[in-house]
Structure 1
Amino acid sequence: MEQSNCIAGMDVTRLDRIGDHLQRAYLEPGKLPGTLTLVARRGEITWLKAQGLRDVERGLAVERDTLFRIYSMTKPITSIALMQLYEQGRFLLDEPVHKYIPAWKGLRVYKTGSHPQMLTTAPERPMSIRDLLTHQSGLTYGFMNRTNVDAAYRSLKLDGGPGHTLDRLIDELSRLPLEFSPGTAWGYSVATDVCGYLVQVLSGLSLDEYFAKHIFQPLGMPDTFFTVPQDKLHRFAACYQYQPGDTFTLQDDPQNSAFAKAHGYLSGGGGLVSCIDDYYRFAQALANGGELDGARIIGRKTLEFMRMNHLPGNQDLPGVAIGSFSETPYDGTGFGLGFSVKTDVAKSQTNGSLGEYGWGGMASTNFFIDPVEDVLMIFMTQLIPSSTYAVRQELRAIINGALVD
């Protein structure tokens, strides 16, 4: 093999299979509008390619500086922000959430009935801050369409919408029951939005101000925000909704998007828009143990703690999860403080390493960091829901197949 064909111990010809695969399997058949994929190893970008369209209706191509709704890829950023405050001694993980949100002291657990007439019971123990970070809180999402509790979230529009704010979310949740007693199960939820609220309470800054001061500015991330500025709107991708028959329709026009207007909902669970170079700087800081170009956003030991499996008895998600929704395949995957964590490579049925961590977003974006191989990947596209295609597993197979040393 020619040495010139390798970058950071990765075979570039083999990495080219990413572009070939995405073109053949997803772009030509019209399954995805466009993609932007970045692979890096040992702090060096080894492969990056934009393919297809960021806006099908206007015929605009995906470009390196395209802005994407990253949805739940906001969660690791919020989790890092909260753990920065943990490093300052501002809170402990086992402290009850109601210490910082007094109105939550009387939270109850759903038993039967429908909103607003629900019978409830007392939780086995109060919700802790760790329960929020690990999605073991008993909170839920309205879009789950699984229980009478998430139906209440939908009726109250707690997943976002006009006039929704973090303060309103916290207030409404104080009166709603939990789906399960904290710590007894794993359920994907608005918990990371609550983490964002705690960042505000503990820091005295609004979440957007905190992110800017303590993460975005230190790392050099000028294109990550809750609201797309007007002078950057031309770079904002359209978002699409999967339709039966492997087609898609426009879900969110960038010119009329709620993300393009001042909306007031600082969602730490899913509210950010970003570009691949910004998110790469965040991911590379994590891959480096919490630091990039002299700017440290989290301590090495704290990050090691965050990327441990925090599920009880070191179980994977199928052992503790309720429902079937998540941003990652369940088998062989645990959950840490803000990330999924691979606990069993063989059981996951996807090539990789123990301790690989990351997360994805509702519009099919995804990132992972493999600390064993010092590899990271960021994949950007805009198709809802994220469970439509198995692109993430396919990309892992190709990327790991390109490792040479």
Structure 2
Amino acid sequence: MNGQATENPRVPPWAWIALVLILLFDVWYRCHTIGPTIKNRLGLTLYPTVVGEAEPLDCDEAAYAYIGRRLVRGDVLYRDLTENKPPGGYWLYALAVAIGGAEEATIRLLPIPFALATIALAWWIALRLAGPIAAILAAFVCAIMSTDPYLYGNGAQLEQFINLFSVASLALMVRALPRSEARGTIAAAGAFVGLACLVRQVSFTHLVVYAIALLVRRPSDGADRSLVARLGDLAALAGGCAAVGALAAAVLVARGAGEEAFEDIIRYGGALAIDTPPAPQAPPLWMRWVTGNVDPRSGEPPWPFGQTDWLVWWGAGSWPLWLAAAVGVPVLLVGRSSDAARRLLAAWTLSAWVQVALPRLFWAHYYLLPVPSVAVSVAAILVDAARRTREARRLGRVVGGAIALALAVAVLGTVVIQVRDYLLVPAQRLAVQYKGGGQWIAQRTLGRSIGRRAAAVWDHPRIFIWGAASPLFIYGNLDGASKHFFADPLLLAFAGRDHPLIRPRTEQILADLEARPPELIFLYDHPFPDLAQFVHRHGYRRSRLGPLPPGGPGSDMRGLWVEPSHFEPFENFSTLPGRSPSADRSAEPRAPPASLAPTIHPAHLKGLPGLPPDVVKAIERAVRAKMKAGGIPGMAVAVVADGQFCWTSGFGLADVENGTPATAETVFRFASITKPITAVAVLQLAEQGRLDLDAPIQQYVKSFPVKRWMVTPRMLLGHLGGVRHYRGDEVESTWHYNSVLHTLTIFRDDPLLYEPGTRFEYSTYGYNLLGAAVVEASGMRYSDYVREHIFRPAGMAHARADDVRAIIPRRARGYVRSQSGELRNSALIDPSNRLPGAGLCGTAADLARFAVALQSGVLLRPETVQMMCQSQTTLDDTPTGYGLGFSLSEHEGHREVLHVGAMPGVSALLYLRPDDHSAVALLSNLEKQAAALLDLAREIADALPREL
């Protein structure tokens, strides 16, 4: 074979066997995140992918499943519920729901046959272009890349549908181009493009590519056809596409939704593409074409333009292949081995890249669309280059060998990255760490909890959701109260503003709600003014059930609102009739902290659901007694029992001078409780293989000079590193440091106090050095890293850097007592000199959520948490009583894991009893109260029930 397309290639048996093995591999690989679902629903175990709990359906999947359920029920798309995309994808969901039911397993399995068929077609195209070895390589690369780790396996389902239809059209065109009479095949290719366009309109670009290919065929590509014949081919292509569109339109018109479909798909879809503000994470067009998306957390692009670690196949997962394809596609267009089929493949790849980069249509899932052609292109060029090393002269062999080697390295590199960052990471951790801070898991747990509660209060509960929270529909088995059930970016951006297409939609939403006031309203995003007025006018009451990711400005109304007459039964309901609490817990997996976080209310001496009233009263008595005994002005308390954050309140005054009460939302300094948070950041990076706990710290912090002895992150975590603590008046420093790396100038030139490992000596600056290692290993600012990887996954809505220059709402004033007992203001300090060691602040509830997230496996693997809570030892095997970020002790038979915080303006304590799955967070605005807080925490922990 000379690198030209072969019309009827002979397929050796081993190529067929390889294809079957690759398809089986793809099913297994794709099931990494859904293995638990398959095991639970189908009883099928796919080792080693069954690890923990499967990630939940994301918003899109749940939304499409909900639409499918409504269509099966008899509702009409665009008439009874709105969407801005064509109907094809929704009809496929309806078919799946009709066959398998509106179940998680059904939605999980739906895209797999489409993905397998796409891989098989990529195998066939590569077989025709470059032979069986290229076919096998293309199929394998397509299987690896098309798992779409951004959604971890199966999330981008519409894109999987599009890929099958689009690649099928490409295969038909590859077959038709060298033939003189292939008008039927060309019409079929047009029909498949039409099917792809029925899923999403962006697929139309392939039709343009095919039309050009038919018009510019060279004599060497096939028969030299007349202009009339070429126009006939174009008519066949357009006719096939138009026939599919006409059939779909006829169905919609027959169902009575023709006018609404035109409004939603054409007018509103166009406005969505033109008027929607650009996504903040969308990179420049040229960068999108080369490497893909930037890191939405930091705005940094992937290598070679940046150093982001964002887990997406187009950024960190498959960037070697993307760069290889960017070079290889031009070779397909103009290379010596180019023919009509190869030029078509190259143009098709460019067309798919255009779909990714269309202005205002940026959507991360679209990066799946070029994957099949990228896989085929790289495979064909690699095989061509390898063949050239055998057939060409010396220089040609060198060039061909170099190209083949580079492409082979790109493929191998992609596989290594994918396996490392996808297959070897537990499914739940993927969702929590890289998928919106665990909000999907929060919504799944919230949906199930709402579903259980609603089942006991309403026969057929209805809900209205404002924002991207559609998982509540499928997991809560709820029904919508408005046809506008899903708030897209355009609707969110222009609600409450004068937009010709949005104003009628908001008016329709309010009319629907007035006509059928729903029992539940979930405000995932801040409502537009008229919606907010509706909620207040009808007396909805905000439930204490309702996890939310941290909100932006104006997030005061976000949460779950319950219709007044059902509020008390709904709030008091705990389990279904006939089910014991223990049975309910065993059936419902313990969720990450965001899903356990109730809406925080100002302190009104009431417990949150789950904590018995007598226990609440006992806690309140103990707190008030301790405050009175110590003369403590203000305090906030948060409690975790049975692994759940279940109560928080404030006491006394946050600001004595102004008489401001301390509430559950009062922000205090965390002081040294910052250290466990920094320790979690370090251990996360260690779990990911990006930081070695036993390597020299200079491997990550090159600005820290080499010392007489080696210092490692593990030593610094356990205060065994020999780095000094505060000296002189440094604890009351007012100097502002702009970065963690800048704070190293305080101590980096000082000698170590002792040989690391020989003795325990507490050091806040040692944690500054660890914070610098987090910065260097992650490529992110320290505050950005802990916000994205700790605060958001844990649901710590108010946690942040303790910046004395910033306006921090509800910040407590700090106090100290003089020798005579007079209450005085604490010294003014700037804690920027100790940000990773003692420079964060937040609420008591934030610390309680941190404790839940740590104990439930959201932030770290269980074995890492266990290591964190084991006492370190000196070189002579003497236990230090300090683990990797926590102090350790035992009291009256209880194993204790804790950390005290003490600095100007605060006394703080985070106290955990791991064996009881309980925790207590105490924040006080009076200095030097550590011993009193420890006694109080033990008293509160003793009062907590073992089970809720």
For the aligned pair, the TM-score class normalised by the smaller chain equals 0.7 to 0.9
Determine whether 1:378 maps to 2:921: yes
1:90 corresponds in structure 2 to 690
- Choose from 898, 901, 907 the match for 1:358: 898
- Choose from 162, 170, 193 the match for 2:744: 170
Whole-angstrom CA distance in 1 between matches of 2:909 and 2:731:
24
- CA gap of 1:252–1:67, structure 2 versus 1, over 3 A, is farther
Conserved 8 A contact 1:38-1:378 = yes
- Choose from 773, 789, 799 the match for 1:214: 789
- CA gap of 1:352–1:359, structure 2 versus 1, over 3 A, is farther
1:79 corresponds in structure 2 to 679
Determine whether 1:284 maps to 2:859: no
Cα deviation, 1:331-368, whole Å, max 9, x if unaligned, reads xxx111111122xx3xxxx43522x2121211211112
1:20 corresponds in structure 2 to 621
Conserved 8 A contact 1:31-1:246 = no
1:25 Cα deviation from its structure 2 partner: 3.8
2:884 corresponds in structure 1 to 337
The structure, 1 or 2, with the larger RCO (C-alpha pairs under 8 Å, 6+ apart) is 1
- In structure 2, the residue corresponding to 1:170 is in which secondary structure? helix
Conserved 8 A contact 2:648-2:844 = no
Give the aligned residue type for 1:40: V
- Higher percent of residues as helix: 2
1:137 Cα deviation from its structure 2 partner: 1.1
Give the aligned residue type for 1:399: A
1:305 Cα deviation from its structure 2 partner: 1.3
Whole-angstrom CA distance in 2 between matches of 1:7 and 1:65:
14
**Pairs within 5 Å for 1:2-401:** 13-14=614-615, 16-27=617-628, 31-107=631-707, 122=708, 125-142=709-726, 150-151=727-728, 154=729, 157=730, 160-164=733-737, 165-189=739-763, 190-227=765-802, 233-251=808-826, 258=830, 267-288=835-856, 290-291=857-858, 297-312=859-874, 315-317=878-880, 334-342=881-889, 345=890, 350-351=891-892, 353-354=894-895, 356-362=896-902, 363-387=906-930, 389-401=931-943
1:89 Cα deviation from its structure 2 partner: 1.0
Instruction: Note the residue ranges of structure 1 that are not aligned, 5 or more in a row.
Output: 1-5, 108-121, 143-149, 292-296, 318-333
1:283 Cα deviation from its structure 2 partner: 1.3
Whole-angstrom CA distance in 2 between matches of 1:12 and 1:315:
45
Conserved 8 A contact 1:226-1:266 = no
- In structure 1, the residue corresponding to 2:663 is in which secondary structure? coil
Conserved 8 A contact 1:41-1:374 = yes
Whole-angstrom CA distance in 2 between matches of 1:241 and 1:300:
40
Whole-angstrom CA distance in 2 between matches of 1:227 and 1:402:
31
Conserved 8 A contact 2:743-2:834 = no
1:278 Cα deviation from its structure 2 partner: 2.1
- In structure 1, the residue corresponding to 2:934 is in which secondary structure? helix
Conserved 8 A contact 2:637-2:664 = no
Equivalences, count:
337
1:228 Cα deviation from its structure 2 partner: 5.6
TM-score (norm 1): 0.74
Task: Determine what percentage of the aligned residue pairs are the same residue.
Answer: 26
Instruction: Indicate the RMSD between aligned Cα atoms, in angstroms.
Output: 3.1
- CA gap of 1:245–1:401, structure 2 versus 1, over 3 A, is farther
Cα deviation, 1:254-284, whole Å, max 9, x if unaligned, reads xxx747xxxx657110111101222222111
Conserved 8 A contact 2:907-2:925 = yes
- CA gap of 1:229–1:99, structure 2 versus 1, over 3 A, is closer
Whole-angstrom CA distance in 2 between matches of 1:238 and 1:195:
29
Whole-angstrom CA distance in 2 between matches of 1:269 and 1:32:
25
- In structure 2, the residue corresponding to 1:298 is in which secondary structure? coil
Whole-angstrom CA distance in 2 between matches of 1:360 and 1:91:
27
1:141 Cα deviation from its structure 2 partner: 2.0
- CA gap of 1:7–1:276, structure 2 versus 1, over 3 A, is closer
Cα deviation, 1:21-75, whole Å, max 9, x if unaligned, reads 3323423x56211111122212334543321100111111101110111111111
Whole-angstrom CA distance in 1 between matches of 2:700 and 2:762:
22
Instruction: Note the residue ranges of structure 2 that are not aligned, 5 or more in a row.
Output: 1-606
- In structure 1, the residue corresponding to 2:836 is in which secondary structure? coil
- CA gap of 1:352–1:72, structure 2 versus 1, over 3 A, is farther
- Higher percent of residues as strand: 1
Give the aligned residue type for 1:301: E
Conserved 8 A contact 1:66-1:236 = yes
1:327 corresponds in structure 2 to none
2:64 corresponds in structure 1 to none
